């Protein structure tokens, strides 16, 4: 082989290898899907603008985009001397110590670290050793490097004048056009785009790299950020200065030291609050067991006046029996329990998948490749799972209001709204208190402040909005516990429900068309807003974080946009309330109806599968159509299923949805909804090193088991007790229907006593029935 032939090959290999080292050491951010045409760069102020799908140009996301199967784009790289200079001058971890800080104390301490490092002092070696370094696997997406958190914060100067402070810098960069294939690999094909100023506490900064530094505690985050900029500017000055762009941000809460981790004080009001209720439950349970004549007999504690009944409400034994009670209640729609279970599990898995994107994976590109398959659409269309809960809420609200109207011909709106607020608030208040004042002290880690403490700060300032159920009107990024937006939507739809239900009950010929028209207007509103703002409720490949927040703020968390599926629920309740006879339907009609319903459900669930692909091109009309009509088509599937199950025309599907075991899940479903994200973020905040991704990580049964256990504890200690207390203190919240059912059960039990017990037992039971009869008459008169 001639030297002339060998020289170009060697040159290309050298360019490839040098470019890899250069980019890796520049802490360049690694996202895998490339949208190079959209990257707007300002090298003057180091800013990089993230692309948004639907901005007007075609988005190319394929791993080999633009190569047409030809030679590697690296073959046309600029001259090798640039890379040689960059590699030769690339800074080491100690170069990032802010020795020239404007703060004299910070500069002096940094110089002390550098001096003692050169003397091989162990504490200084620990600080430098804990910093992130260029690893292998950059082109596999291994671009987030957390260093060694504990080694850094435990390091301390010999004279105790300062200790190690762990700072996690966010770095975003853009590679030149001739290196776009490498840019794709480093950025994991741009699966999700983000800017450094995007909120990161709820949706991760997927297209920026995290790089850990260890600096003295006397240095501020601005000192660290200024030093990183200065060092990287010098290192990249000759590296494609006209095309290569880099931006760095170090937020104040991303610098942590050992003394900044707040301890848990047993005397703090929040801790005392939880200890008080723990003590109350223990006392109630012990007295419950001690005063019970047997395991099956009604506890005597429950018969000792109001104080005894209030204490008995906190009995763990009693509340566990309520959870385990699988008997259907009067007027209950059993299939709703099964629907709630399936939707909750699907939503739990979807939320878990989103949480995984915070974790630094050494094989992130493989994860993205797995997530770009058509099957992933079942997680991208997670909005329809939340629609199930809204639909169920519409049915239950409509059914309860129609029952009250049928009995009393009027609605006591004050009692109805107060009852709803008291039903939701205890659990929500408990979770807010825990996440705000206790959870931040229960751990630490590189991302702890991002996903745990930042939520606590938001709750400190904005919790009142959540307790008033208006938090969904102040921006998704400003929300205390962002996953609770559904509570605000549900409460606001509930407030509007009496208007629709009363109109349907009082003037059916006006009320039903009025309800349908409002549902149509909500559909039109979704279409208009989605089309005008380039929104999509499907998490499409290449979507930006800012676009996800726009979807939430402009559509997803607004009750006017979720009204359609809710009103479909109230219309279903109206039909079920007035149905008298079993629905007679021919087999041909039944099969046709189920065929259409199943196709509708599958379209809503799987229809936008192409949005999962890397080469997906955003179409605003397609996105607006799905946003507007998916709730309607999915709602048709739900309406048909519920009605057919109630008429026994659903076969094995109806039998499955109506299984009694699903009722147990219903008892803790609200608590599962509240606790899942705090537990997800707790585990993410404690992550200290990169991991290898596996599809099975989505099914973390240990984590799910802990969520179920925590939800059971929350339900037993707070949810069920306060429901019982509410009914004891405000008897008007008990419907006459419930009182009558209680009286009927007493009558049935008395009949059993008469036939099996001696005369003394019979007389005592009849005396109790007489008292209950008086109470029942008074309740009916009060209504």
| Distance in angstroms (rounded) separating the CA atoms of residues 626 and 634 | 11
pLDDT band at 516 (very low <50, low <70, confident <90, very high): very high
One domain for residues 650 and 772: no
| Distance in angstroms (rounded) separating the CA atoms of residues 752 and 233 | 88
Nearest to 32, CA basis, from 420, 365, 396, 509: 365
From residue 284, alpha-carbon distances to 399, 702, 706, 715, 765 in Å are 35, 31, 25, 16, 26
Residue with the larger pLDDT of the pair 38 and 174:
174
pLDDT of residue 179: 78
Other CB atoms within a 10 A radius of the CB of residue 440 amount to 21
DSSP letters spanning 207-252: TSEEEEEEEETTS-HHHHHHHHHHHHHHHTTTSSTTT-EEEEE--G
In a domain, residue 271? The reply is: no
* Residue range of the domain that includes 740: 736-782
Span 530-551, mean pLDDT?
93
Nearest to 13, CA basis, from 68, 74, 84, 88: 74
Site of tokens 């067991």? 289
pLDDT of residue 732: 60
Among the candidates 699, 722, 753, a domain finishes at 699
Cα-based angle 632, 637, 642 (whole degrees, multiple of 5): 120
**Which DSSP symbol is given to 275?**
H
Burial of residue 420 (CB within 10 Å: 0-12, 13-18, 19+) is: middle
DSSP letters spanning 67-102: TTT-S-GGGG---HHHHHHHHHTPPPGGGGS-TT-S
| Distance in angstroms (rounded) separating the CA atoms of residues 192 and 542 | 5
Burial of residue 532 (CB within 10 Å: 0-12, 13-18, 19+) is: exposed
Burial of residue 388 (CB within 10 Å: 0-12, 13-18, 19+) is: buried
One domain for residues 96 and 243: yes
Nearest to 145, CA basis, from 503, 399, 446: 446
Span 522-546, mean pLDDT?
94
In a domain, residue 285? The reply is: no
In a domain, residue 293? The reply is: no
| Distance in angstroms (rounded) separating the CA atoms of residues 713 and 669 | 12
Cα-based angle 286, 289, 294 (whole degrees, multiple of 5): 175
pLDDT tens for each residue of 739-776: 333 333 433 443 443 344 444 444 444 444 444 443 33
| Distance in angstroms (rounded) separating the CA atoms of residues 713 and 90 | 54
Span 187-191, mean pLDDT?
91
pLDDT tens for each residue of 198-255: 998 999 988 899 999 999 999 999 999 999 988 887 777 665 555 677 889 999 999 9
In a domain, residue 294? The reply is: no
pLDDT of residue 684: 96
In a domain, residue 349? The reply is: yes
Cα-based angle 114, 168, 696 (whole degrees, multiple of 5): 130
pLDDT of residue 748: 41
| Distance in angstroms (rounded) separating the CA atoms of residues 502 and 479 | 33
| Distance in angstroms (rounded) separating the CA atoms of residues 305 and 311 | 10
pLDDT of residue 107: 95
Q: Of all residues in the chain, what percent carry a pLDDT higher than 70? A: 79
CA within 13 Å, CB half, 214: 33
Q: For the ranges 80-94, 204-218, 450-464, 639-653, which has the lowest average pLDDT?
A: 80-94
One domain for residues 749 and 682: no
One domain for residues 658 and 749: no
pLDDT of residue 238: 60
pLDDT tens for each residue of 99-109: 999 999 999 99
Span 153-164, mean pLDDT?
92
Q: From its phi and psi, is residue 189 left (phi > 0), alpha (psi between -120 and 50) or beta?
A: left
One domain for residues 468 and 340: yes
Helices (H), strands (E): how many in the chain?
A: 29, 8
pLDDT tens for each residue of 633-684: 999 999 999 999 999 999 999 999 999 999 999 999 999 999 999 999 999 9
Q: First CA to last CA across the chain, in angstroms?
A: 102
- Does residue 36 register a pLDDT over 70? no
Nearest to 672, CA basis, from 635, 638, 712: 712
**Which DSSP symbol is given to 140?**
G
pLDDT of residue 673: 96
Burial of residue 327 (CB within 10 Å: 0-12, 13-18, 19+) is: exposed
Task: Name the average pLDDT for the chain.
Answer: 82
Contact 55, 534 (CB under 8 A): yes
pLDDT of residue 584: 85
pLDDT band at 783 (very low <50, low <70, confident <90, very high): very low
pLDDT band at 426 (very low <50, low <70, confident <90, very high): very high
DSSP letters spanning 541-596: TTEEHHHHHHHIIIIIT-TTTSHHHHHHHHHHHHHHHH--SPPP--HHHHHHHHHH
One domain for residues 495 and 394: yes
Show the DSSP H helices in 615-660 as ranges: 620-646, 651-657
Span 415-440, mean pLDDT?
95
Q: For the ranges 503-507, 536-540, 745-749, which has the lowest average pLDDT?
A: 745-749
pLDDT tens for each residue of 293-341: 555 555 555 556 788 889 999 999 999 999 998 888 778 899 999 999 9
| Distance in angstroms (rounded) separating the CA atoms of residues 313 and 308 | 9
| Distance in angstroms (rounded) separating the CA atoms of residues 381 and 731 | 43
Contact 220, 103 (CB under 8 A): yes
DSSP letters spanning 347-409: HHHHHHHHHHTTS-BTTHHHHHHHHTSGGGHHHHTTHHHHHHHHHHHHHHHHHHHHHHHHHHS
One domain for residues 661 and 758: no
Among the candidates 243, 260, 277, a domain finishes at 260
pLDDT of residue 355: 93
Work out whether the CA dihedral 479, 480, 482, 484 comes out positive or negative: negative
**Which DSSP symbol is given to 33?**
S
One domain for residues 482 and 378: yes
One domain for residues 245 and 363: no
Residue with the larger pLDDT of the pair 177 and 146:
146
Other CB atoms within a 10 A radius of the CB of residue 629 amount to 18
pLDDT of residue 91: 76
| Distance in angstroms (rounded) separating the CA atoms of residues 380 and 376 | 7
In a domain, residue 714? The reply is: no
In a domain, residue 710? The reply is: no
Span 353-358, mean pLDDT?
94
Please, what's the b/e burial string for 453-475 (b: 16 or more CB within 10 A of its CB; e: otherwise)? bbbbebbeebbebbbebebbeee
One domain for residues 620 and 740: no
One domain for residues 483 and 335: yes
One domain for residues 430 and 576: yes
- Does residue 42 register a pLDDT over 90? no
Q: Count of domains in the chain?
A: 3
Among the candidates 209, 239, 260, a domain finishes at 260
In a domain, residue 728? The reply is: no
Span 361-368, mean pLDDT?
94
pTM equals 0.82
Task: Enter the tokens of residue 168.
Answer: 């996690």
What pairing do the DSSP bridges indicate for beta strands 543-544 and 192-193? Answer: parallel
């Amino acid at each position: 082989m001639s030297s002339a032939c060998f020289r170009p090959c060697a040159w290309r290999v050298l360019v490839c290898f040098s470019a890899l080292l250069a980019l890796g050491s520049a802490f360049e951010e690694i996202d895998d899907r490339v949208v190079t045409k959209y990257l707007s760069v300002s090298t003057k102020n180091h800013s990089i603008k993230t692309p948004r799908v639907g901005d007007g140009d075609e988005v190319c996301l394929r791993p080999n985009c633009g190569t047409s199967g030809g030679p590697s784009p690296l073959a046309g790289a600029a001259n090798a001397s640039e890379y040689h200079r960059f590699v030769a001058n690339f800074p080491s971890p100690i170069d990032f110590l802010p020795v020239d800080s404007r703060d004299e104390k910070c500069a002096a301490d940094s110089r002390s670290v550098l001096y003692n490092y050169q003397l091989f002092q162990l504490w200084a070696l620990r600080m430098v050793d804990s910093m992130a370094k260029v690893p292998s696997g950059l082109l596999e997406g291994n671009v987030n490097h957390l260093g060694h958190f504990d080694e850094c914060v435990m390091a301390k100067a010999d004279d105790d004048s300062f200790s190690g402070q762990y700072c996690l810098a966010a770095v975003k960069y853009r590679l030149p056009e001739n290196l776009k294939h490498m840019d794709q690999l480093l950025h994991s094909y741009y699966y999700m785009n983000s800017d450094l100023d995007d909120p990161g506490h709820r949706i991760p900064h997927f297209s920026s790299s995290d790089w850990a530094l260890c600096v003295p505690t006397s240095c501020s985050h601005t000192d660290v950020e200024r030093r990183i900029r200065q060092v990287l500017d010098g290192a990249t000055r000759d590296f494609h200065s006209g095309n290569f762009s880099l931006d760095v941000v170090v937020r104040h809460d991303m610098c942590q030291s050992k003394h900044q981790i707040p301890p848990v004080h047993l005397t703090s009001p929040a801790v005392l609050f939880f200890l008080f209720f723990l003590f109350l439950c223990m006392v109630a349970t012990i007295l419950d067991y001690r005063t019970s004549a047997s395991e099956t007999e009604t506890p005597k504690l429950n018969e000792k006046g109001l104080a005894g009944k209030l204490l008995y409400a906190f009995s763990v034994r009693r509340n566990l029996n309520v959870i385990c009670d699988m008997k259907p209640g009067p007027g209950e729609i059993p299939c709703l329990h099964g629907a709630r279970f399936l939707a909750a599990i699907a939503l739990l898995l979807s939320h878990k998948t989103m949480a995984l994107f915070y974790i630094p994976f050494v094989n992130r590109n493989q994860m993205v490749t797995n997530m770009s398959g058509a099957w992933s659409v079942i997680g991208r269309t997670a909005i329809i799972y939340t629609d199930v809960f809204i639909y169920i809420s519409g049915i239950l609200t409509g059914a309860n209001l129609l029952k009250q109207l049928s009995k009393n011909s009027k609605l006591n709106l004050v009692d109805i709204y107060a009852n709803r607020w008291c039903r939701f608030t205890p659990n929500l208040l408990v979770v807010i208190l825990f996440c705000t004042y206790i959870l931040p002290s229960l751990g630490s880690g590189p991302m702890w402040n991002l996903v745990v403490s930042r939520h606590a700060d938001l709750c400190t300032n904005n919790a009142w909005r959540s307790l008033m159920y208006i938090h969904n009107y102040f921006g998704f990024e400003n929300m205390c516990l962002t996953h609770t937006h559904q509570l605000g939507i549900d409460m606001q739809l509930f407030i509007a429900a009496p208007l629709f239900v009363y109109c349907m009950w009082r003037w059916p010929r006006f009320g039903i068309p009025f309800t349908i028209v409002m549902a149509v207007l909500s559909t039109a509103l979704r279409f208009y807003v989605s089309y005008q703002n380039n929104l999509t409720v499907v998490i499409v490949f290449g979507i930006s974080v800012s676009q996800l927040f726009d979807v939430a703020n402009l559509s997803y968390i607004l009750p006017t946009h979720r009204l359609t599926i809710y009103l479909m629920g109230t219309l279903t309740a109206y039909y079920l309330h007035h149905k008298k006879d079993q629905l007679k339907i021919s087999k041909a009609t039944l099969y046709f109806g189920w065929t259409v319903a199943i196709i509708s459900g599958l379209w809503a669930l799987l229809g936008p599968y192409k949005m999962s692909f890397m080469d997906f091109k955003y179409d605003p009309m397609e996105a607006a159509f799905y946003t507007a009509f998916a709730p309607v088509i999915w709602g048709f599937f739900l309406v048909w299923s519920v009605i057919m199950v109630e008429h026994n025309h659903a076969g094995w599907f109806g039998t499955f949805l109506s299984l009694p075991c699903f009722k147990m899940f219903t008892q803790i479903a609200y608590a599962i909804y509240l606790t899942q994200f705090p537990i997800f973020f707790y585990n993410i905040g404690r992550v200290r090193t990169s991991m290898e991704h596996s599809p099975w990580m989505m099914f973390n049964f240990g984590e799910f088991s802990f969520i179920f256990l925590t939800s059971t504890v929350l339900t037993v200690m707070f949810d069920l007790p306060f429901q019982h207390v509410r009914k004891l203190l405000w008897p008007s919240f008990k419907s006459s229907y419930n009182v009558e059912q209680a009286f009927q059960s007493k009558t049935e039990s008395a009949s059993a006593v008469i036939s099996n017990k001696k005369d003394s037992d019979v007389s005592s039971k009849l005396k109790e029935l007489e008292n209950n009869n008086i109470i029942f008459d008074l309740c009916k008169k009060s209504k």
